[in-house]
C-alpha cells in the first residue's frame, strides 16, 4: 500500500524557500486529507487521466499495452537479464498468458531496466490488425484477457487459496514457478492495458512453495475390465490391448507385475483377451491426473467395455 503522500512531500520541498507559500500549501494539503489507495489504483488513475486528455484531441486514442516483469533475488541488483534466466522464464510466461487467453499470444522484449531486473515487453502487433472498425469499437485484447486470469491466479497462489478455478492454467504457471525456483528469483508482474487500466501480482517463495505442495499427488484406484485384442507384447511384462477395430479405438498398456505370469499365458498378437486390471490415477491437489497405470489382476469374463480415456 502507499499513502499517496509522496507528491505532497515533493511539493513541500519545492516551496521550502517561500514561507508564505509553504504555509498556504500546508493548510491546503491538510484540508485535502490523507489518501490511502494501493499502487495499482493510483497508477491506473494516472494512465486513465492521460488517455482522457489524449482523447480530447483524438477520440480513438489508445495507450500502448505493456508487460513489465520484475525479477528480484541475490543477483538482480545490477538490473541486467542473464541469458539463462530469459531462456528459462520468458517462454513459460508467454505460454501461461496464451493458455489463460485461450489463444496463442506472442510477446516481444522491448527493453531491460534497473530497479532489480525489470523486463519490458509488449504483445506482437499484427500488421493491419487495427482497422477502423476495431478503433471505433474498443475491445479488451486477448492479451489483456490472458493477463487478467494470469495475475488472478498468481494472487491466489500467493494467498494459498483454492486455485481449481484455474486448473487449465496451472501447468503453465507451474513451469514459471519451477524456472524461478531454479535461480532463486521472485517475480513481480505488472500489466498496462490500452484503456488505461493496470493489474499487478507477485509470485514469491511463499507462492512457489504452495505450487510445489499442490503438485504433490495421491493415488486413486479402481478395478475395471479391459476387453480387446493384443496389438503389442513386451517381454518386460507389458501388453497393449486395443478395444476396437477403428483406428481411433482406445488402447491400453497393461502391466504385469510378474512378467513370468504373462509368459505362462502364451498370448499372441491378435488374441482377444479380457483382463481384470487395477486402474490407478495419481491426482495432484488441483485434480489433474499426473500418471495413469493399468496393472493386471487376473482374467475376467467377457463384458462390455468401460469407456475410459487411456
Query: What does the pLDDT read at residue 16?
Result: 59
Determine the length of the chain: 310
Least confident of 36-40, 141-145, 192-196, 283-287: 36-40
DSSP symbol at 115? T
Angle between helices 167-183 and 205-215 (to 10 degrees): 120
Q: How many helices (H) and strands (E) does the chain have?
A: 9, 10
Residue 306 lies in a domain: no
- Cα separation, 273 vs 252, in Å, equals 12
Domain extent at residue 96: 43-127+140-215
Residue 134 lies in a domain: no
Shared domain check, 147 and 30? no
Split into its structural domains, the chain has a count of: 3
Residue 237 lies in a domain: yes
Residue 99 lies in a domain: yes
- Cα separation, 159 vs 201, in Å, equals 11
Shared domain check, 287 and 210? no
Shared domain check, 152 and 30? no
Shared domain check, 281 and 203? no
Q: Residue 79 has which C-alpha cell?
A: 538490473
Shared domain check, 145 and 269? no
Shared domain check, 260 and 203? no
Residue 132 lies in a domain: no
Among residues 174, 196, 10, 7, the alpha carbon closest in space to that of 92 is found at 174
pLDDT in tens, 176-190: 999 999 999 999 999
Query: What does the pLDDT read at residue 105?
Result: 93
Shared domain check, 226 and 87? no
Q: Residue 158's pLDDT band (boundaries 50, 70, 90)? A: very high
- Cα separation, 79 vs 188, in Å, equals 14
Alpha helices, DSSP H only, in 108-258? 132-136, 142-158, 167-183, 205-215
Task: Check whether 266 has a pLDDT greater than 50.
Answer: yes
Give Cα 186 to chain centroid, integer Å.
15
**What is the percent of the chain with per-residue pLDDT over 70, rounded to a whole number?**
77
Query: What does the pLDDT read at residue 96?
Result: 94
Shared domain check, 107 and 27? no
| Cβ proximity of 224 and 309 under 8 Å | no
Task: Check whether 303 has a pLDDT greater than 80.
Answer: no
Task: Check whether 4 has a pLDDT greater than 80.
Answer: no
Query: What does the pLDDT read at residue 85?
Result: 93
Least confident of 5-14, 22-31, 84-93, 101-110: 5-14
At 119, give phi and psi (nearest 5°).
-100, 125
| Cβ proximity of 275 and 230 under 8 Å | no
Residue 284 lies in a domain: yes
Query: What does the pLDDT read at residue 265?
Result: 84
Shared domain check, 227 and 91? no
Shared domain check, 147 and 88? yes
Shared domain check, 73 and 154? yes
pLDDT in tens, 88-118: 999 999 999 999 999 999 999 999 988 789 9
Residue 121 lies in a domain: yes
Single residue among 215, 247, 271 that ends a domain in this structure:
215
Query: What does the pLDDT read at residue 120?
Result: 93
Shared domain check, 267 and 162? no
Among residues 228, 238, 196, the alpha carbon closest in space to that of 52 is found at 196
Q: Residue 7's pLDDT band (boundaries 50, 70, 90)? A: low
pLDDT in tens, 208-264: 999 999 999 888 999 999 999 999 898 888 999 999 888 888 899 999 998 888 888
CATH value at residue 227: 2.40.50.140
- Cα separation, 215 vs 283, in Å, equals 9
The residues, any chain, with a CB within 8 Å of residue 263's CB and separated by 6 or more, are 235
Task: Tally the C-alpha atoms within 13 A of residue 33's C-alpha that lie toward its C-beta.
Answer: 3
Least confident of 21-30, 135-144, 159-168, 300-309: 300-309
Query: What does the pLDDT read at residue 130?
Result: 47
Residue 15 lies in a domain: yes
Amino acid at each position: 500500500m502507499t499513502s499517496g503522500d509522496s507528491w505532497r512531500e515533493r511539493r513541500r520541498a519545492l516551496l521550502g524557500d517561500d514561507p508564505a507559500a509553504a504555509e498556504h500549501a500546508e493548510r491546503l494539503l491538510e484540508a485535502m486529507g490523507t489518501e490511502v489507495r494501493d499502487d495499482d489504483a493510483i497508477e491506473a488513475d494516472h494512465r486513465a487521466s492521460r488517455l482522457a486528455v489524449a482523447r480530447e484531441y483524438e477520440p480513438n486514442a489508445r495507450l500502448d499495452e505493456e508487460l513489465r516483469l520484475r525479477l528480484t533475488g541475490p543477483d538482480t541488483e545490477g538490473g541486467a537479464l542473464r541469458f539463462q534466466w530469459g531462456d528459462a522464464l520468458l517462454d513459460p510466461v508467454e505460454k501461461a498468458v496464451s493458455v489463460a487467453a485461450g489463444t496463442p499470444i506472442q510477446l516481444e522484449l522491448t527493453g531491460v531496466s534497473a530497479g532489480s531486473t525489470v523486463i519490458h515487453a509488449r504483445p506482437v502487433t499484427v500488421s493491419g490488425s487495427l482497422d477502423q472498425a476495431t478503433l471505433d469499437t474498443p475491445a479488451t485484447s486477448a492479451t489483456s484477457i490472458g493477463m487478467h486470469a494470469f495475475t488472478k491466479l498468481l494472487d491466489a497462489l500467493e494467498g494459498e487459496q483454492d486455485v481449481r478455478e484455474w486448473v487449465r492454467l496451472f501447468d503453465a504457471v507451474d513451469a514459471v514457478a519451477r524456472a524461478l525456483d531454479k535461480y532463486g528469483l521472485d517475480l513481480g508482474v505488472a500489466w498496462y492495458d490500452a484503456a488505461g487500466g493496470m493489474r499487478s501480482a507477485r509470485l514469491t517463495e511463499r507462492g512457489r512453495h504452495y505450487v510445489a505442495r499442490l503438485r504433490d499427488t495421491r493415488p486413486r484406484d479402481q478395478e475395471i475390465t479391459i476387453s480387446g485384442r493384443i496389438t503389442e507384447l513386451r517381454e518386460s511384462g507389458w501388453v497393449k490391448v486395443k478395444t476396437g477395430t477403428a483406428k481411433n479405438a482406445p488402447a491400453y498398456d497393461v502391466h504385469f507385475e510378474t512378467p513370468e505370469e504373462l509368459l505362462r499365458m502364451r498370448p499372441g498378437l491378435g488374441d482377444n483377451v479380457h483382463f481384470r486390471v487395477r486402474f490407478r490415477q495419481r491426482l495432484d491437489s488441483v485434480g489433474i491426473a499426473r500418471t495413469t497405470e493399468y496393472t493386471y489382476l487376473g482374467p475376467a469374463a467377457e463384458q462390455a467395455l468401460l469407456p475410459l480415456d487411456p
